[in-house]
Structure 1
Amino acid sequence: GPACGGRCGSGAATSFTLTSNFSSAPKCNTGPDGTDHGSWTKEGDRVDLAEQSLLNKLIRRSLVWNRNRVEVLQRDPVSPLFSVKTFEELRLVPELLKGVYSMGFNRPSRIQESALPMMLAQPLQNLIAQSQSGTGKTAAFCLAMLSHVKPANMWPQCLCVSPTYELALQIGQVVEQMGKFCPDVKLAYGVRGNRMERGVKLQEQIVIGTPGTILDWCTKYKLIDPKKISMFVLDEADVMIATQGHRDQSIRIHRLLTKNCQMLLFSATFEDSVWKFAETIVPDANIIRLKREEETLDTIKQFYVVCKDEQEKFTALCNLYASLTIAQAMIFCHTRKMAAWLTTNLSKEGHQVALLSGELTVEQRAAVIERYRNGKEKVLVTTNVCSRGIDVEQVTLVVNFDLPVDMEGNADSETYLHRIGRAGRFGRRGFAVNMVDSQQNRKIKQLDTNNLEEVELLMS
């Protein structure tokens, strides 16, 4: 029988189907966080963590290559540590293995190598895992849920909670693609707008949704019997606890579950607050985390140019661009208003320019990045909404038209490093040029970085 202890049925004779599909998921017209991003202000674009995570899911077509080693801390240190190099070693049912390969996964990613054997082991094991976007964590826990369910049992068995409506639908899409060759496994979306008849028990084995709706379905509407849930997945924990109410709702859901329920928690970062939350939700857990290795910026040459005002910055930028052979450039501005002004003026100079800022929907941002990645525009003007996590191999120049600053107006070294890290990717040489006026000249000295050189550009 399969390594999952027959939870999927009895080998090759079992056939499944997944009746839900992404296009039939409930529609919602409001924004991801339910807030009005408003018009341009003197403040910079806020970086919404949930939107950033969704954007990464939309634009990544393949797994991210990660140099960081995976560190595994086992609940039972004397237990043998298994890792797998192929999906066949997991002894999945053939239909599920076929679904994995149909998605283009040829072999497990680094985090999947260690996490999947733990998630599929008998007896069930709890897991806390750190993994950046694009490393295959969503596919890993979707595979675990599909392997876990008993299709003959027509009630919810796997519960997956995600911070936003859009992120929940992205997870559902992965479940549907991976389970498309499997006939009796059904999926329900526990998200706003998906109205269900009160008191009628769900028959879907997997439920994916947001904390508020899932909590209502378990308590107010009695659609889910939490005592029958045998796997609980909490995704994007760092985003979850940054969203008002989600932390407490997730803890309340957790308290409804039995002690025998398998708990899996994933987070891109592990600040102290995330650790405390994770330990509350996931007792006696195995832990997988990325060993921190500083990303080298040795391949990126850093310069700064002192300018009198915005017009002089713009002149310097045009001269810089004319004097270098550049594959593609990213230009960062502090406000949407400045980004729009710069885009208009660069277009007048004949440059193919794309604009990316916070008033665009996440789907619109993904489309802009796709055009830029495909070379349809050579210059991307953006605010902080694009400062981290977006890899375009061809970028060789990053320009800080405005230096990044924190809430107190001081130089923001972390954002600066995230911005310039967009250049010189994958070992290529890159350039970072900072445009500073007399007020910002002092701030650039505050940046936690080495090798900054002042240069003069002709202002003709």
Structure 2
Amino acid sequence: MQDSTEAGNNGFAALGVDSRIAEALSALGYEEPTPVQRAAIPPLLVGRDVLAQAATGTGKTAAFALPLLTRIGAGHKAANGAPSVLILVPTRELAMQVAEAVHRYGKPLGLHALAVYGGASMELQIRALKRGVDVVIATPGRALDHIKRNTLKLGTLQAVVLDEADEMLDMGFADELEAILDATPASKQTCLFSATLPPRIAGIARKYLRDAEHVTVEREVLAEGAVARVRQVAYVVSRAHKMPALARVLDIEQPTSAIVFCRTRTEVDELTETLSARGLRAESLHGGLSQDQRDRVMQKFRAKKVDLLIATDVAARGLDVKHVSHVVNFDVPADAETYVHRIGRTGRAGREGVAITLAEPREHRLLRNIERQTSQKIDIAQVPTVADLRAHRQELVKMTLREAIVEGGLESFRGMVEALADEFDVMDVAAAAVKLVAARDGGEDEIPAVTPREPRERFDRGESRGGESRGGESRGGDSRGGERFARDERGGGDRRPPRAEAGGAKGKKPRRETAWTPATLWIGAGRKLKMRPGDLVGAIANEAGLDSEHIGAIQIADNFSTVDVPEAMADEVITALKNTKIKGLRVQVRRDRMK
């Protein structure tokens, strides 16, 4: 009988992947190619362009990396150090993860990969590029910076990959992508991977791909009558009680291994510290960690030396850990795609999984929206009471005692029990021992029960709560000479409001409402420095880890810009932007004094 290692080797080698890479894949635990790999590898190996629609978590990184590494092979590094493959990704987190994967895959061939992204030292990246690399994995903004400096040379480029293309466009990188693609050799091979194929993606594909092979990998469909492997439940709780509620739910659920998703780095660190103080083995994973730190955290998590991985979405992108029993959304995701991506981390390899969401009362409508879009039921539950917790702990004590009795080795304790039995009833002695064990967990305060409700206040991002425009500006413009932009429903490309709005109430269309209180940030760069909304969106999403759904109205004036972000996250966004460069510049960032 053929063992799994041989099967894995033959599975990838049969597709045409270099045998040395196939052997490395077996050592890394890859067994059989995934559907997207089976579909994309053969056409990429023969040099065809590929347009692939595949969600994150389907193995798409290997789908484009394995054939391209096989094609360029060893010893193909150009004399001037120029790369053979350029992979464009939306975030620095994904750049680091893809670079790590490409390094592992290409190591047997002696190929070198380099991650290039904003927020890191430009000089260090320039020196690394001068030494020469075979594959560059870059975010669009930083890639274009290097191209303009002539430090990223594209003359010998054989292939370009656009990974998560829809996400890059949603972050405002459309112009950068076109500028980069226009600067690459016409003879290059191009492959585009995207979870969705909206009209903008289709337009780029028509313009830059030649006779492309279309690959579509549908999400797994359960057989008729089959039961979904992931149990989905939401606990409705006020924000003030979220932390104790999470600890209580984890106490009840007893996950063997769990990922807890948070929106920001600060939230990740605070949650990790609090859970660790409660005796849980928790580790943080976010963009503020170095690659070495990330590697150490993931090694501990895979080795089951960590029970809880507290992570941001971008940091957890690309993770493939099969033993995750639970996924927890500390906040309700802003869209169904993010929700599906998160809960897809559990219930893998035929195992059952649990997806838990902590929802504030006003977020109930977001849960219902996710249910409608995913056609899956999310059960609404109340946080376990103190009585529930006490009953659960007593059951655990009973199980522990039963195991201790079965295990034996109680002889040394019999003398103590016999001595007490002369004075008290033996049942009272046993009950007292159980009481002492149960008391170690300490007391718990009751968490108030709440009911879901719609938010009481809704207001336009460009208006005050009283309904009057901020600073005297009209909806279509700005009294300070700026241009106002509204975000589309996915937080994506920027668009101007309809012309009818500029003239006042007549013909005015309702604009998208927010369920969060906005804070307006002032940024000391505007049109004169060629600042664009996409630059601000990219910087905030990358550096502050803020979901694009929570980036509000953007205004570009001649000498400054403003952007709305949630009040609760404003200080963190300010700190993050002060510690990085936007379009290669250090800029002033503060709260808007005219707000």
| CA distance 1:447–1:144, change in 2 (3 Å) | same
CA-based RMSD: 4.5
Q: Which runs of 5+ in 2 are unaligned?
A: 117-121, 387-443, 445-595
Q: CA contact under 8 A between 1:103 and 1:177: conserved in structure 2?
A: no
Q: 1:78 — aligned with what?
A: none
In the alignment, the residues of structure 2 paired with residue 350 and residue 223 of structure 1 have an alpha-carbon distance, to the nearest angstrom, of 48
TM-aligned CA deviation for residue 276 of structure 1: 1.9
> Does residue 248 in structure 1 map to residue 185 in structure 2?
no
> Does residue 417 in structure 1 map to residue 340 in structure 2?
yes
Q: Which runs of 5+ in 1 are unaligned?
A: 1-61, 66-83, 181-185, 197-201, 407-411
> Does residue 329 in structure 1 map to residue 258 in structure 2?
yes
Q: CA contact under 8 A between 1:158 and 1:232: conserved in structure 2?
A: no
3-state SS of paired residue (1:381): strand
Looking at both structures, which has the greater relative contact order when contacts are Cα pairs under 8 Å and sequence separation is at least 6? 1
| CA distance 1:156–1:400, change in 2 (3 Å) | closer
> Does residue 458 in structure 1 map to residue 385 in structure 2?
yes
Q: 1:402 — aligned with what?
A: 331
Deviation string for 1:11-61 (max 9, x for gaps)?
A: xxxxxxxxxxxxxxxxxxxxxxxxxxxxxxxxxxxxxxxxxxxxxxxxxxx
> Does residue 447 in structure 1 map to residue 370 in structure 2?
yes
3-state SS of paired residue (2:183): helix
TM-aligned CA deviation for residue 457 of structure 1: 1.2
In the alignment, the residues of structure 2 paired with residue 99 and residue 231 of structure 1 have an alpha-carbon distance, to the nearest angstrom, of 20
Pick the aligned partner of 2:237 from 307, 329, 345. Answer: 307
| CA distance 1:263–1:298, change in 2 (3 Å) | same
Larger % of helix: which? 2
Q: CA contact under 8 A between 1:87 and 1:108: conserved in structure 2?
A: no
Q: CA contact under 8 A between 2:99 and 2:113: conserved in structure 1?
A: no
In the alignment, the residues of structure 2 paired with residue 248 and residue 189 of structure 1 have an alpha-carbon distance, to the nearest angstrom, of 22
**300-309 or 207-216: which moved more?**
207-216
**Percent identical across equivalent pairs?**
22
Deviation string for 1:292-348 (max 9, x for gaps)?
A: 44589822223333334533x333333333334421223333444444333333222
TM-aligned CA deviation for residue 161 of structure 1: 1.7
3-state SS of paired residue (1:355): strand
After TM superposition, the score normalised by the length of structure 1 is 0.60
3-state SS of paired residue (1:398): strand
Q: 2:537 — aligned with what?
A: none
Matches within 5 A, 1:9-408: 87=13, 90=16, 97-98=19-20, 100-104=22-26, 110-121=35-46, 125-130=48-53, 132=56, 134-135=59-60, 136=62, 137-146=64-73, 159-163=84-88, 166=95, 170=100, 173=103, 176-180=106-110, 193=123, 208=136, 226=155, 229=156, 231-236=158-163, 238=165, 241=169, 242=171, 244=173, 245-254=175-184, 256-257=185-186, 261-272=187-198, 273-293=200-220, 298-311=228-241, 313-361=242-290, 363-385=292-314, 389-404=318-333, 406=334
Q: CA contact under 8 A between 1:190 and 1:213: conserved in structure 2?
A: no
3-state SS of paired residue (2:370): coil
| CA distance 1:287–1:323, change in 2 (3 Å) | closer
| CA distance 1:333–1:195, change in 2 (3 Å) | closer
| CA distance 1:267–1:375, change in 2 (3 Å) | same
Q: CA contact under 8 A between 1:212 and 1:249: conserved in structure 2?
A: no
| CA distance 1:107–1:178, change in 2 (3 Å) | farther
Deviation string for 1:277-304 (max 9, x for gaps)?
A: 1221112222223234458982222333
TM-aligned CA deviation for residue 247 of structure 1: 0.8
User: AA paired with 1:143?
Assistant: T
| CA distance 1:117–1:373, change in 2 (3 Å) | closer
Q: CA contact under 8 A between 1:142 and 1:171: conserved in structure 2?
A: no
In the alignment, the residues of structure 2 paired with residue 358 and residue 205 of structure 1 have an alpha-carbon distance, to the nearest angstrom, of 24
In the alignment, the residues of structure 2 paired with residue 216 and residue 434 of structure 1 have an alpha-carbon distance, to the nearest angstrom, of 40
After TM superposition, the score normalised by the length of structure 2 is 0.48
Q: 1:431 — aligned with what?
A: 354
Higher radius of gyration, 1 or 2? 2
Aligned length, in residue pairs: 348
**106-115 or 264-273: which moved more?**
106-115
Deviation string for 1:138-186 (max 9, x for gaps)?
A: 1111112229x989x9789973222378558557635752424xxxxx8
Q: CA contact under 8 A between 2:41 and 2:66: conserved in structure 1?
A: no
**449-458 or 127-136: which moved more?**
127-136
